[in-house]
Amino acid sequence: MFLSHTPLNFHFNKNSDNFFVEEIPLYPFAHTGEWLMLKVRKKDTTTPEMIKTFAKYLNISPQTIGYAGLKDKDGLTVQWISIPRKYRNEINKFNDKKIKIVEQDLHRNKLKIGHLKANKFFVRLKKVTPTTAKILFSLIKDIKTYGMPNFFGDQRFGKYGNNFEEGKKIIEGEKFVKNKRLNKLLISAYQAKLFNEWLGERIKLSRIFELKENELKALGYEKELIKFVKNQKHPFKLLPGDVMSHYPLGKLFYLENIEDTERFLKKEISITGLLPGKKVLRAKDFARSIEEKYDELIPANGDRRIAWIFPEFIELNYNKDRAWFEMSFILPKGAYATVLIDLLKNPKKFLGE
């Protein structure tokens, strides 16, 4: 059964020796224009902290500086930022222990959130026995074939993992947060929590559908639905009315025929999950009967998130002498490398088991 193994025993310490991530830009830069593009390597500092450091050095507002995404504080990270070209002379004198400019370019437009294609990661797991390494190779082979669930990682829920609780209080009128940015962050954590719970239930449902047809009928599932699901080769079962998307980005459309489940197996399309709120497309038919349990009236715009992703593994290596298992891989933007590690270590973490 896919990603249902017993927990594995290995060690992961998220620091600059064992964790590296580099942004892959959404588009090539024009090599001309009024915006100076800086490829920045940082460690032990968050993206907002880095932005504030540059803003203070240049004596400009942090809002003047553009960036495509937030990168982890822990580990070694590389990302692009944009500043007005007129600060080139000052930036060439910039010096900081935690931040280093490794490349410069020019472009016509300021970088904005989301202007990245994917992220490339390097991860080193330690205290990996030969037996565990063999299991890891096998698990990754399955992920190469079928992909993996795109859960939100622990980072989304704050240092103490309770941001979603604060977001729920805001939504229910029990808490008021004046800071608009913090208010949005807390509400989005609650949306992410609902998404994760929905995705966990869908995985459990996929496993239920591995039962025999007569057993499924006894559970109350209709014959046509059973037939629709049983014809699918992918371990994650799609349902009539699911909201699909071309992978990794594309227009949304409803799943209505069995042929599209083959396209999911071929990694051409993927299922999306609901981030509840206003102005967002909902699932329909049987898929909606599952989704609506995690759909709440939230005073913010909703969205849909790719719920199943297909990592691209570049290199795998096991060093038996050091008991290190190393992985280089690419994930689409918004996906968490820590989720991949957690799924390998203990997939039950996301299923409430």
**Cα–Cα distance between 339 and 332 in angstroms, integer?**
13
Q: Amino acid letter at 98?
A: K
Whether residue 47 contacts residue 111, with contact meaning beta carbons closer than 8 Å, is answered with no
Whether residue 160 contacts residue 168, with contact meaning beta carbons closer than 8 Å, is answered with no
- Site of tokens 């310490």: 13
Radius of gyration of the chain from Cα atoms?
Answer: 22
**Cα–Cα distance between 282 and 168 in angstroms, integer?**
21
CA 131 to chain centre: 29
Whether residue 81 contacts residue 65, with contact meaning beta carbons closer than 8 Å, is answered with yes
CA dihedral 47, 52, 57, 63 (to 10 degrees): 100
**Cα–Cα distance between 229 and 258 in angstroms, integer?**
9
Nearest to 335 by CA among 18, 11, 23: 23
**Cα–Cα distance between 14 and 77 in angstroms, integer?**
12
308-to-104, 269, 292 alpha-carbon distances in Å = 35, 9, 19
Q: Give 322's DSSP letter.
A: T
β pairing state of 99-107 and 35-43: antiparallel
Q: Give 244's DSSP letter.
A: E
Annotation says 72 is catalytic: yes
Among 17, 72, 142, 285, the active-site one is 72
- Catalytic positions are 72
